[in-house]
A = this chain, B = another copy of it.
Amino acid sequence: MRKNLKLGLFGFGVVGQGLYHVLHETKGLKAEIKKICVKTKNKSRPIKENIFTFDKNDILSDPEIDVVVELIDDPTAAFEIVKASLKSGKAVVTANKRMLAENLEEIYNLQKKYGKPVLYEGSVCGSIPIIRNLEEYYDNDLIKSVEGIFNGSTNYILTKVIEERKSYSEALKQAQELGFAESDPSLDVKAFDPKFKLTILIAHAFGVFVKPENVINFGIDRISSVDLKYAKDHGLGIKLVARAFKSGDKIYGLVAPQFIEATHALSSVRNEFNAVTVEGAFAEKQLFVGKGAGGYPTGSAVLSDISALTYDYQYEYKKLHQENRAEFTNDATVEVVVSFSGADQMTIADFENFKGGFQGNGQQNLQGSVKLEKIREWSQREGINVILAEGAGLIPVISADKKLTVYA
């Protein structure tokens, strides 16, 4: 039988308000918000004042509250709330991808220790039920790869820049006005946000906990007219692609912009939409597309987690219990197109396998394969932009006596 749940909310921003409305318009779900803890006093709020509190203990120490819904921005404070909630015997629903990515192994251990679940579908790709599907449905299907467009605001910006020839700054401003961009836009445009989501999916797809700092990310904030000309000349689009895959007993992952052909499945994923492709041994490729940003899509994912708690659902992290667990590594090469402004910023020796390029007339493009660590190095220097070549998979670097495994 399903339980009645009393909820304590932390935070009442876009997602919190979306959840509040979604909950009120949904019949049949036995869940009710008892308290909402907010930070800022004397702010006009759209619902009755007596539900709000400024003291976290009004929620954490209330024995009637079964579920804490954590929807604040600050990852450090959010993690404290998660820990305190589990310790008080409360289940947790959260959509804080950064907090989750940075602490996922500890959160897994805390769930075991205190016997209470933490659910976080809303943290990855808004309304797309990807974690639940990886947990439940791909249970027995050996997963080869998970990839897609995990960030709505950068996808919106790229759509405007590529299709409508808007300037980058104009498109960013528009995304912010529409509420797609996070409170700190650099987390989006420098591709940290999709990286946090990728590390969460790596745990559920491959059973590996990887710290976000180990996964290399390259943003879209250095895309210049040179890159746009390259795209136009070759009839290609650009998408910010997050990707993880398994090869042998190794897991590889990377988030970077990529040139995409018009016929590619991700090419039709436009504006604030997100997409995830899961490739399994038997089910082959599955594509999930849905809105990745906004209060309602994320609120709806949070609500599905709350609903799942009414029948005591919890993630099993099944792939963690597999024999022969794989290991994360950056020991791979990938084909890239690099553009830069100063002629002295790069030499052919930076490439493992140099394919060619063009320098002069203000356009500087080099193409070839580089090690993943080279992309990390370039991301930490100014003036160099990296875009993965069309169709680029990651090619693991394998010593000469072994056969080269190519993923494409």
Contact = CB atoms under 8 A, between A and B. Distances in A.
What is the interface of chain A mostly: helix, strand, loop, or mixed?
mixed
B291 A283 contact: yes
B289 A303 contact: no
Given A286-B289, A289-B265, A132 B137 contact: yes
B288 A287 contact: yes
A309 to B, nearest CB: 12
B290 A286 contact: yes
Given A28-B318, A304-B140, A297 B282 contact: yes
A280 interface: yes
Interface in A323-338: 323
A301 B288 contact: no
A142 B290 CA distance: 16
A373 interface: no
A236 to B, nearest CB: 16
Given A26-B142, A304-B140, A289 B287 contact: yes
Interface string A127-157: 1110011001111111000000000000000
Interface string A274-308: 00000011111111111100001101110110011
A247 to B, nearest CB: 17
B27 A300 contact: no
Interface centre among A26, A27, A140, A300 (most CB of B within 10 A): A140
B308 A284 contact: no
Given A268-B265, A286-B290, A322-B27, A129 B140 contact: no
A226 interface: no
A113 B307 CA distance: 27
A226 B253 CA distance: 50
Interface residues of A, number: 48
A228 to B, nearest CB: 21
Contacts of A287: 287-290
A38 interface: no
Nearest to A299: B282
A284 B127 contact: yes
A17 to B, nearest CB: 12
Contacts of A290: 283-287
Contacts of A140: 22, 26, 28-29, 303-304, 307
B297 A283 contact: yes
B127 A283 contact: yes
Nearest to A308: B136
A125 to B, nearest CB: 10
A25 interface: yes
A237 B304 CA distance: 36
Nearest to A26: B140
Contacts of A296: 282-284
Given A136-B308, A141-B300, A287-B288, 10 more contacts: A26-B141, A28-B322, A127-B280, A127-B284, A127-B286, A138-B304, A140-B303, A141-B304, A268-B268, A283-B301
26 contacts: A18-B282, A22-B140, A26-B140, A127-B282, A127-B283, A127-B284, A129-B133, A129-B137, A132-B136, A136-B136, A136-B304, A139-B307, A140-B307, A267-B268, A268-B268, A282-B297, A283-B290, A283-B291, A283-B297, A283-B300, A286-B288, A287-B288, A287-B289, A287-B290, A288-B289, A289-B289
The 3 closest A-B CB pairs, nearest first, are A282-B300, A287-B289, A127-B283
Interface of A: 18, 22, 25-29, 127-129, 132-133, 136-142, 263, 265, 267-268, 280-291, 296-297, 299-301, 303-304, 307-308, 318, 321-323
